[in-house]
Amino acid sequence: MRKRVFRVLFISIFAAMLGLGIVAPLMPIYAKSMGANGIWLGIIFSGYSVSRVLFMPIVGRVSDKTGRKIFIASGLLLYSLISLLYPLAGNVYTLTTIRFVHGLASAMVIPIAMAYIGETSEAGKEGTSMGTFNIALFLGMGAGPFLGGLLNDSYGIKSVFYAMSCLTAIAFFITLFFLPAIQPHRKARGKTRPLFHVIIRNKLLRGLLLFRIVNAMGRGSIMAFLPIFASSIHITSSQIGTLISVNLFLTALLQPPCGMLADRCSRPYLVIAGSMVGVIALFLVSLTHTFGELLFVNSLMGVGGAIALPSASALTVDVGHTVGMGVSMGMFSMAMSIGMITSPLILGVVLDAFGLKAIFYAAAAIGFIGTFVVLQLLRKVPCP
């Protein structure tokens, strides 16, 4: 049963993330074609994440009591349908609304799938299990931008959204027909404490949530503003897709060894080390002038993510055994969305006030301060 759950979710989430990744490098350009300035770019990107923040804790908690398959299948179906509305968006208001509904679909899929995997992970091998599953997330997101760039250059941007719809529809049918419907553990179903109380009482969870926010702010700056920066130094759509793909491919391919490392070494210090590598990469972005230089910096960021995320995911599984796996993974994903909300908004203001290069310096400064605080929260967590 455990292997079947893993295989079905791996394939489904890979297809869903491939579809989502297809639009990643093109959304800023699509929004700018509708007249979006720095602030509106931030609002459009944040609309997706605001929806995730609102709904993920609720969905996670309900799934701990009622089961998870219904949420994953419904979310994937909504993903597929909402993708068809993107080509119909005629202004920034409509595009923001579509992104908000798309965020609701995401809230029903990714954290619930991660809770499924966390709950079926073998004790002591959470890092390996989550690291291997993360391949589906990052490999899909990594292949997507490259494919999206090619589709846009060959057939126009509407083809990108149709491809996203088809891929998520495939993921929906795989989940619907092949994913076993298992009930959460009794211990998880019995948790009824308020989410705010859970965060206040659990120092480890506070550290993990802050890490996820900081990590997402860095990734948000790349997703929202790297395509614009790359275009300013005359890099093509296909090359932009390649840049983002290499970042995510490296993170994906290094997940299994970093996951095994997380099961043998201090997970908190691996989280800190990976976070600092990402901070350095963000600082270097504005110093690049060529495709090759930007490729190196994006590769460095991918390595940082590979080091940190399996350990952070494994620690989140540990918390989930106490507070409920759906709650734990929902809050972990919610923290990512908070970072994705705040990053485009803050950095959109920086863009309008100080220019394009200042974005990545500001993101690096935020990342450095945040990582220092995370260190204070996690440094006393014992080695697994």
At 193, the amino acid letter reads: R
Task: Give pLDDT tens digits for 250-287.
Answer: 888 888 899 888 888 888 889 999 999 999 999 999 89
Q: Which residues of 351-383 are buried (b: 16+ CB within 10 A; e: fewer)?
A: beeeebbebbbbbbebbbebbeebbebbeebee
Domain presence at residue 273? yes
* Phi, psi (degrees; rounded to nearest 5) at 356: -65, -45
Domain presence at residue 177? yes
Cα 208 from Cα 125, distance rounded (Å): 19
Q: Provide the pLDDT confidence category of residue 48 given band limits of 50, 70 and 90.
A: confident
Q: What is the CATH number of the domain that holds 273?
A: 1.20.1250.20
Cα 128 from Cα 9, distance rounded (Å): 16
Domain presence at residue 134? yes
Task: Give pLDDT tens digits for 213-229.
Answer: 998 888 878 877 888 88
User: pTM value?
Assistant: 0.74
Domain presence at residue 383? no
Domain presence at residue 41? yes
DSSP 263: T
Q: Provide the pLDDT confidence category of residue 191 given band limits of 50, 70 and 90.
A: very low
Confidence at residue 380, expressed as pLDDT on a 0 to 100 scale:
66
What domain count does the chain have?
Answer: 1
Q: Which two tokens stand for residue 182?
A: 């298992």
| Tokens 């923290």 belong to residue | 335
Domain presence at residue 140? yes
Domain presence at residue 384? no
Domain presence at residue 164? yes
Q: State the average pLDDT for the chain.
A: 83
Q: Provide the pLDDT confidence category of residue 197 given band limits of 50, 70 and 90.
A: low
In a 13 Å sphere around the CA of 321, the CA atoms on its Cβ side amount to 12
Q: What percent of the chain has pLDDT over 70?
A: 93
| Tokens 């989502």 belong to residue | 20
Domain containing 241: what range? 2-378
